[in-house]
Amino acid sequence: MTRRLESLLILGPTGAGKSPLGSLLSRRGLAGRACHHFDFGHELRQVANGAPGFSEAERAFVREVLFQGRLLEDKDWPLAARIFEAFLVRVQPRPADLLVLNGLPRHIGQAQAMEDLIEVKFICLLEANLEVVCRRLESNVGGDREGRDDDTQSLIFQKYKTYLARTHPLLDYYRERAKILKIPVGADTRPEETYRALLKLLAREGVLELAAP
Decide if pLDDT at 210 tops 60.
no
209 in any annotated domain: no
- Residue 52 falls within a domain, yes or no? yes
13 pLDDT more than 60: yes
Q: Does the residue 143 lie in any domain?
A: yes
Rounded to whole angstroms, how far apart are CA atoms 208 and 197?
A: 12
The pLDDT assigned to 204 comes to 85
Per-residue model confidence (pLDDT) at position 83: 97
Q: Is residue 213 part of a domain?
A: no
Examine the pLDDT at 212 and tell me if it is beyond 70: no
**Percent of the chain having pLDDT more than 90?**
79
Which range of residues forms the domain containing residue 48? 5-203
Q: What is the pLDDT of residues 134-168, one digit of tens each?
A: 999 988 887 765 655 666 788 899 999 999 999 99
Return d(Cα 28, Cα 19) in angstroms, integer. Answer: 14
SS3 breakdown of the chain: % helix, strand, coil, rounded to 5? 45, 15, 35
How high is the pLDDT of residue 50?
Answer: 94
**pLDDT value at residue 148:** 59
Of the ranges 2-16, 48-62, 105-119, 133-147, which one carries the lowest mean pLDDT score? 133-147
- pLDDT value of residue 154: 84
Overall domain count for the chain: 1
Does residue 208 sit within a domain? no
For residues 104 and 10, what is the distance between their CA atoms, to the nearest angstrom? 9
User: Is 211 domain-assigned?
Assistant: no
Asked whether residue 210 is assigned to any structural domain, the reply reads: no
Share above pLDDT 70 across residues of the chain, in percent, rounded to a whole number: 92
Q: Quick check: 97 pLDDT over 80? A: yes
Average pLDDT over residues 55-69: 95
3-state secondary structure 81-149: HHHHHHHHHHHCCCCCCEEEEECCCCCHHHHHHCCCCEEEEEEEEEECCHHHHHHHHHHCCCCCCCCCC
d(CA 203, CA 31): 10
Contact call for residues 28 and 100 (beta carbons, < 8 A): no
pLDDT, position 115: 94
Residues 178-202: what's their mean pLDDT?
A: 95
Nearest to 53 by CA among 68, 66, 63, 43: 43
Average pLDDT over residues 19-28: 96
CATH number at residue 49: 3.40.50.300
